[in-house]
A and B are shown apart, each in its own frame.
Chain A
């Protein structure tokens, strides 16, 4: 089949598109980074960002000026991920308890009593952990903990913003952050112990 050539009239973006692009385009690298972490795949990440970008554009009329655009578009990305194949797999396989466990509420039971020690094994471990170790630890987090830690630490969102993105109460945000960091520390400790065990 041969399609006849046609002349495409040059279209100028409307003012609404221009405003949207001004707000959304600077966030694309951050959206892509989070999308890649969630999907663990470059192609899926590109698709996820593109789909989210177009959904946001089409729904931009519903965005309330003056509210947090970053939280709004990240929420779209996150919801789009949840309805994607990889997102559905993630939600099927992970069950989360959102209550803080006793240990996390009680205080720093993990930490030894005594003088301020800036050279504890754990501090040294975190200080010396290279990017690859930390990234490997992040990869081991289940998606609900990974997304909350990415939004909090990498995107530097406030708890209130994270609650909007994830559509969960602030208390749940706090509990997930606590669980994520505890899990990260445990993974780092386990990674650190492995070479020593092998060497012994």
Chain B
């Protein structure tokens, strides 16, 4: 080797990446070339010092334990995380009780249909609100973590007995964070997770097998706004603490994208 050692080979030498043949050639050259020896020394010294300086940040105390606990609960809870399912169970039981109770009243007092429908709606509002709160409280990431609708939608294939579309071109501060598979009234539903500004939004998509499409309406529950609408055989219910106008806008976008395109 008569030419000087290339920069790439000097790096490879410092990094221990030269093959035996290359190392032999380089060593021969170094024995005869003070300039390359100095250069190799610089690279090695730099590497050693960077290795020390790069070890800069120490994990906060308790983070390891927290991640271990998360790992345990994440595995044990899938596909239905235990915290969520427990809350969902209580909420479902409450909803079932309300529905049965409503049914009895309906038989006895047919005139009160409207009032009972409101109760059922309130039960649903209560249940979706509980699911939304449970999602926020659990602090876990979505089961499918993606802002890409082409990732989120296919993730539900085989998990839900229905399909849906997700809107593109969301407003600037609105972002799809991912989605969860969850349960309402013992039926699997899609829980889409959005962020509007700093506000988290859950949008529940459920398949309606009987009855009229859900009327477009908004209500309050436990400090959260709930917006709902039906389209085709799909019910859309969104929960958030965001401005109700923004929530309605998102629900409207999701509704519009279903029209005529549902598979």
Which residues of A are in contact with B by a Cβ distance under 8 Å?
1, 3-4, 6, 8-9, 11-14, 16-17, 20-21, 25, 28-29, 32-33, 36-37, 42, 45-46, 49-51, 53-55, 57-58, 83, 100, 103-118, 120, 122-123, 126-127, 129, 131, 134-135, 138, 149-150, 152-154, 156, 158-159, 174-175, 177-178, 181-182, 184-185
User: A154 CA to B54 CA in the complex, in Å?
Assistant: 6
B20 within 8 A of A: no
**Interface pair A32/B57, CB less than 8 Å apart:** yes
B186 within 8 A of A: no
Interface of B is mostly: helix
Known interface pairs A11-B73, A55-B145, A122-B42; A114-B34 also in contact (CB < 8 Å) = yes
Q: How far is the CB of A47 from chain B (nearest CB, A)?
A: 9
Contact of B141 among A32, A54, A106, A135 (CB under 8 A): A54
Q: How would residues 72 to 97 of chain B score, 1 for a CB under 8 Å from any chain A CB and 0 otherwise? A: 11111110001100110110000000
Residues in B with CB closer than 8 Å to A49 are 59, 63, 67
Q: Interface residue tally of chain B, by bracket?
A: 35 or more
- Kindly report which residue of chain B lies nearest to residue A159, judged by CB atoms: B17
Selected A-B contacts with CB under 8 Å, 29 pairs: A3-B90, A6-B89, A29-B58, A33-B56, A33-B58, A36-B57, A37-B57, A46-B60, A46-B63, A49-B63, A51-B145, A54-B140, A57-B75, A105-B6, A105-B7, A106-B6, A107-B7, A116-B34, A116-B38, A117-B38, A118-B41, A120-B38, A120-B42, A123-B42, A134-B50, A138-B53, A153-B50, A154-B50, A185-B42
Which residues of B are in contact with A by a Cβ distance under 8 Å?
3-8, 10-12, 15, 17, 34-39, 41-43, 45-47, 49-60, 63-64, 66-68, 70-78, 82-83, 86-87, 89-90, 129-130, 133, 140-141, 145, 147, 221-222
Q: A37-B56, A54-B71 are in contact. List 5 more A-B contacts (CB 8 A).
A: A13-B76, A32-B59, A42-B57, A104-B7, A104-B8
**Interface pair A154/B74, CB less than 8 Å apart:** no
**Interface pair B34/A156, CB less than 8 Å apart:** no
Residues in B with CB closer than 8 Å to A123 are 38, 41-42, 45
User: A182 CA to B11 CA in the complex, in Å?
Assistant: 11
Residues in B with CB closer than 8 Å to A105 are 6-8
Contact of A37 among B10, B47, B54, B68 (CB under 8 A): B54
Residues in B with CB closer than 8 Å to A153 are 47, 50-51, 54
Residues in A with CB closer than 8 Å to B145 are 51, 55
**Interface pair B11/A184, CB less than 8 Å apart:** no
Residues in A with CB closer than 8 Å to B222 are 1
**Interface pair A129/B49, CB less than 8 Å apart:** yes
User: A54 CA to B90 CA in the complex, in Å?
Assistant: 27
Residues in B with CB closer than 8 Å to A14 are 75-76
Residues in A with CB closer than 8 Å to B49 are 126-127, 129, 134
Contact of B72 among A17, A36, A45 (CB under 8 A): A17
User: A14 CA to B56 CA in the complex, in Å?
Assistant: 34
**Interface pair B63/A28, CB less than 8 Å apart:** yes
Residues in A with CB closer than 8 Å to B147 are 83
Residues in A with CB closer than 8 Å to B12 are 159, 174
**Interface pair A29/B59, CB less than 8 Å apart:** yes
Known interface pairs A13-B75, A184-B50; A107-B6 also in contact (CB < 8 Å) = yes
**Interface pair B8/A100, CB less than 8 Å apart:** yes
**Interface pair A126/B35, CB less than 8 Å apart:** no
**Interface pair A54/B74, CB less than 8 Å apart:** yes
**Interface pair B42/A116, CB less than 8 Å apart:** no
Known interface pairs A13-B72, A53-B71, A54-B70; A3-B46 also in contact (CB < 8 Å) = no
User: A161 CA to B190 CA in the complex, in Å?
Assistant: 38
Known interface pairs A6-B90, A116-B38, A185-B42; A33-B4 also in contact (CB < 8 Å) = no
